[in-house]
Amino acid sequence: MTDTKYSEKILELAERYNYSPFMIKQIMINFPDEHLVVINAFNRQPRETIRVNTLKTTPEKLKELLGKKGFRLKPTQFDYAFHVDSSQTRIGLGNTHEYLQGFYYIQSLASMVPVHLLYPEPGDNILDMCAAPGSKTTQIGQFLNQEGIIIAVDNKESRIKSLSSNVKRMGINNCIIFPYDSSQLRPFLKSTFIPDKILLDAPCTGSGIIRVDPTLKKSKNDLNINRMVRIQKKLLKTAIEILKPGGLLMYSTCSFHYQENEGVIADALTNNRNIEIIEPNEDFGHPGFDNINNKIFGIELLKTRRVYPNRDDLDAFFYCLLKKK
């Protein structure tokens, strides 16, 4: 396709689907063989999904309780999560007694994957670097089963209230919360807390959650991506420095832009010879890009994972599990 026809195609799709030309071009770059089905998949309504808080109840018991209220719970690949059909009830998922009691968290399946692949175990010391509003922090908490320590940090003090509220609602008793810039944690934590595992669910452009926030079709540009990449690289550098040797680090985003994903990881591998990518031991998602848009990242990046709105009926997420040698 010539440059002129390529530009015409971008403008035509942008007008037809109500996107900015910039976002259409990014979708065409990141999903070169399936951009049309991806655009259509981003228009679908996301499924309601909940994560069962196994600290307070069991999947079987919660299914019974919500079933009595008219909710129909359908299994997912995770035994502690359900897709929810709310069509037979007028009650909102966030308005039930069980929700207020902390029996479940409303959370997309793609959002549960980072903690699931990091797999915290009872007794682990875990650092959650960008924790608010607490979906993944509380998921870590149920994996730890009140054994070990979670330090949950977020640099936006306004979001700490929701983080604290969710941690309390879900009954997590071993979590320390404070507002701080996680990229500056090294001198603060180095001598007092050495994490066995770190979750860096990095701030990003959010381009992968268009189904949840349709304004993203038009609200982002190159400046947004570049700004996020600088923040992500800084956070990842700090995470690698403070991680325990032999420890695991999960880097994830809800962005489909390769610059925020494979590009950030490839840069970290180049600048840190003491880390390696660990391929997930579960059959989930699809390999990341080893090359894209004339950028060569190397075959190691095939060990990272992506999920797609069209192939998986999920938000577009990226996951990379790193190990410190």
Q: What is the pTM of this model?
A: 0.96
**pLDDT 10s per residue in the chain (325 long)?**
667 878 899 999 999 999 999 999 999 999 999 999 999 999 999 999 999 999 999 999 999 999 999 999 999 999 999 999 999 999 999 999 999 999 999 999 999 999 999 999 999 999 999 999 999 999 999 999 999 999 999 998 889 999 999 999 999 999 999 999 999 998 877 677 899 999 999 999 999 999 999 999 999 999 999 999 999 999 999 999 999 999 999 999 999 999 999 999 999 999 999 999 999 988 889 999 999 999 999 999 999 999 999 999 999 999 999 999 9
pLDDT in tens, 29-47: 999 999 999 999 999 999 9
3-state secondary structure the chain: CCHHHHHHHHHHHHHHHCCCHHHHHHHHHHCCCCHHHHHHHHCCCCCEEEEECCCCCCHHHHHHHHHCCCCEEEECCCCCEEEEECCCCCCCHHHCHHHHCCCEEECCHHHHHHHHHHCCCCCCEEEECCCCCCHHHHHHHHHHCCCCEEEEEECCHHHHHHHHHHHHHCCCCCEEEEECCHHHCHHHHCCCCCCCEEEEECCCCCHHHCCCCHHHHCCCCHHHHHHHHHHHHHHHHHHHHHCCCCCEEEEEECCCCHHHCHHHHHHHHHHCCCEEEECCCCCCCEECCCEECCEECCHHHHHCEEECHHHHCCCCEEEEEEEEC
**Residue-level pLDDT at 1:** 65
Q: Which residues are catalytic?
A: 254
Sketch out the chain's domains with CATH numbers: 48-106 (3.30.70.1170), 109-324 (3.40.50.150)
pLDDT in tens, 299-311: 999 999 999 999 9
